[in-house]
Amino acid sequence: MPVRGIVRRATVAGEVTATNAPIYVDSDDNIPYLIPAGTGSSLVPFVLGLTGVTGAKIAAGSGVLVAGTGTIATGLATVKGFAAAVRGATGFATGATEVHEIQVTSITTGSVAVQGLFNAFVTGAATLSVSGTATFNWVAIGT
């Protein structure tokens, strides 16, 4: 299966037509942009296209899990969406110290609590990591 992605560069890539609205991540500020009208060249930060989030902002950073859990202070007043990915994870982890993915356990105003999961070798089930450490990247959308 081919890998799909969004281009990251200094300028938008792709042709703007009535049926194509290019999306790209600006390499200068790391914010996703699109040309929503399908014509012209007016770039709009992707987060402004979210419905129901007036004055939306994006925050991003990195973190480290300690003993399988962590709390991220996003700098946002309210978090509407959050995603995180383990850096350097490869294949399926086989023990409680090998965090494979990050799961959100709670969102309280601008802070997000997360826990590490690993894929149990025997059952294949995602299992809470009780002692694992992992470095991860995160992005939050909110106000």
The whole-number pLDDT of residue 134 equals 82
Answer positive or negative: Cα dihedral of 37, 39, 42, 45.
positive
Cα–Cα distance, 67 to 121 (Å, whole number) = 20
The whole-number pLDDT of residue 2 equals 59
Cα–Cα distance, 116 to 82 (Å, whole number) = 15
Give the residue carrying structure tokens 């959050």: 82
Mean pLDDT calculated for residue range 76-91: 78
pLDDT at 36 over 80: no
- Considering the four listed CATH numbers 3.40.47, 1.10.3470, 3.10.50, 2.60.40, the one that applies to the domain covering 57-142 is 2.60.40
φ, ψ for residue 46 (rounded to 5)?
A: -55, -35
28, two tokens: 């200068």
Q: To the nearest 10°, the Cα dihedral for 24, 27, 28, 31?
A: 40
Q: Are 13 and 22 in contact (CB under 8 A)?
A: yes
Q: What is the residue-averaged pLDDT of the chain?
A: 76
pTM comes to 0.60
Q: What percent of the chain has pLDDT over 70?
A: 76
Contacts of 52 (CB under 8 A, 6+ apart): none
Of 4 and 12, which is predicted with more confidence?
12
Instruction: Provide the residue ranges of all domains of the chain, joining segments of one domain with +.
Output: 8-49, 57-142
The whole-number pLDDT of residue 28 equals 73
Q: Counting beta carbons within 10 angstroms of the beta carbon of residue 21, is it exposed (0 to 12), middle (13 to 18) or buried (19 or more)?
A: middle
The whole-number pLDDT of residue 51 equals 54
Beta strands in 14-131 (DSSP E): 23-26, 32-34, 44-45, 57-65, 69-73, 79-86, 101-108, 111-119, 126-128
Mean pLDDT calculated for residue range 128-133: 77
pLDDT at 39 over 60: yes
47-61 pLDDT, tens digit per residue, is 655 555 567 788 888
The whole-number pLDDT of residue 50 equals 57
